[in-house]
Amino acid sequence: MYTKKLMEKIKNIIRGHSLFMLHYCTGCGAIELPPTMTSRFDMERLGIAPMATPRQADILLITGYLSAKTLRRVIYTYEQMQSPKWVVGFGSCTINGGIYYDSYSTINELDLYLPVDLYLAGCMPRPEAIINGFERLIEKIENGDADGWKHYKQNREWYKKNQKQALGDSLYTTR
């Protein structure tokens, strides 16, 4: 039992320091990422690197507001990722819809459809805020607190119900 716990702790530490990120750039937030990744702020020193496909990624970074059209793809992409996996909501839009909150097709609360592990508030959050947020995420993963993917698995019906409500029949799931 103790060794299992220790093993889990080691795994979590390793996971926390190697985060491959798939950024789903739906809004204007993506513009903050290049300085975060390159020389000025250098995200790679924390072990965070961009990846091309959801199969290889650990973090799904959703930058900016989601519409009904993009949410469908985000859900599809999230379900293609392999657990443990984390969702980071980037910018105010993912929290409450941001400045587009009253648009007819904007998804205001991401948390209803996907288990968000960390929000980066701001419109837009500066690279410092992003780095700060990721450090927080690493801390959470190391402690084993970032378990949104488990939550999604356990409360699958609830999430599916919400997703259906927003998207109707066009929802496509992998399983």
Partner 1 sequence: MTISYLIITAGIMSAIIYLVSKFNWKAGTILQTLTFLIIGYFLYHNGDYSSSQLAIFNNISLNFTYSYFNEIFLYLGISVMIIVSLFSIDGIKNYQYKPVYNFLTTLIFMSILGVFGAADFITLFIFWELMTWVSFFLISMGKKYSKKAALLFLFMSMIAAYLMITGIFLIDNAVGGITFSNLINNYGSISYSLKFKILMLFVLAGLIKGGVYPLHIWMRTSYSESPDSFTSILSGILMKFGFYLIYLIGLFFPVAFILKNNPSKLISELPSSTFFAYLAGISIIIGTIAAILQNDAKKLIAFSSVSHAGYILLAFTYGTSMAFAGGVTHILVHALTALGMFLSIGAVYFRTGTTKIDELGGLIKNMPLTFTTYLVSIISLAGIPPLFGFVSKWMIYQSLIINGSYFLAFAAFFGSIGSFMYVFRPLAGVFLGQRPKKFENVKEVPFFMKAGMLIVTILTVLFGVLPGLVLKPIISMQQSIGIEPIKASLYRLFSGLTTLDMLVVFTVFGAGFILALIIFLLFAKPTRVKQHEQYTAGEIVPELQTQPSIYHYAKNYYKPFSRIFDKFPSMEKLYKKGAEYLSSSFGVIEEFFYEESINGYIWLISITFLVIIAIRWF
Partner 2 sequence: MILNIIFRGLILIFGAFLFQVALSGFSRKVVARIQKRYGPVFWQNFRDIFKFLFKETSISHGFIFDFGVLMAFGGTMATLIFLPYGSFEVIPGQTNFIVVIYLLAIGLLGMAMSAVGSANPNASIGISRALTQMLGYELPFLIVVLVMMYINKTSSIGGLVQSQIQNGWNLWSMPIGAGVSFVSVMGMLGKKPFDSPIAPAEIASGPLVEYSGKYLGILMLQHDFATVIEVGLFVNLFLGGGSNILIFAIKYIVVYILMVIISSFLPRFKVEESVKFFWKWGLSLAFLQAVISLGIYLI
What SS3 state is found at 32? helix
Residue 50's SS3 state is strand
Taking CB under 8 A as the rule, does residue 54 contact partner 1?
yes
**Distance of alpha carbon 19 from alpha carbon 14, whole angstroms:** 9
- Minimum distance of partner 1 from residue 131's CB (angstroms): 26
- Judged by beta carbon distances under 5 to 8 A according to partner kind, the member of partner 1, partner 2, none in contact with residue 76 is partner 1
Q: How far is CA 38 from CA 14, 64, 124, 127, 162, in A?
A: 23, 21, 18, 11, 38
172, interface contact from partner 1, partner 2, none, CB < 5-8 Å by kind: partner 1
Interaction of residue 144 with partner 2, rule CB under 8 A: no
Contacts by 139-143, CB closer than 8 A, 24 or more apart:
139/16, 141/12, 141/15, 141/16, 141/19, 141/84, 141/86, 142/12, 142/13, 142/16, 143/12
Rule CB under 8 A: is residue 82 a binding residue for partner 2?
yes
Task: Mark residues 17-36: x for contact with partner 1 by CB under 8 A, - for none.
Answer: -------x------------
| Residue 39 lies near partner 1 (rule: CB under 8 A) | no
84 binds partner 2 (CB under 8 A): yes
For residues 75 and 170, is the Cβ–Cβ distance under 8 A?
no
Question: Rounded to whole angstroms, how far apart are CA atoms 46 and 160?
Answer: 34
Unique residue bearing structure tokens 């995420």: 137
Smallest gap from Cβ 76 to partner 1, in A, equals: 6
- Among 5, 38, 135, 161, which residue interacts with partner 2 (rule: CB under 8 A)? 38
Query: Which residues bind to partner 1, rule: CB under 8 A?
Result: 24, 53-55, 72-74, 76-77, 80, 172, 174
Query: Which residues bind to partner 2, rule: CB under 8 A?
Result: 11, 14-15, 17-18, 20, 38-39, 42, 44-47, 51-53, 55-56, 58, 81-84
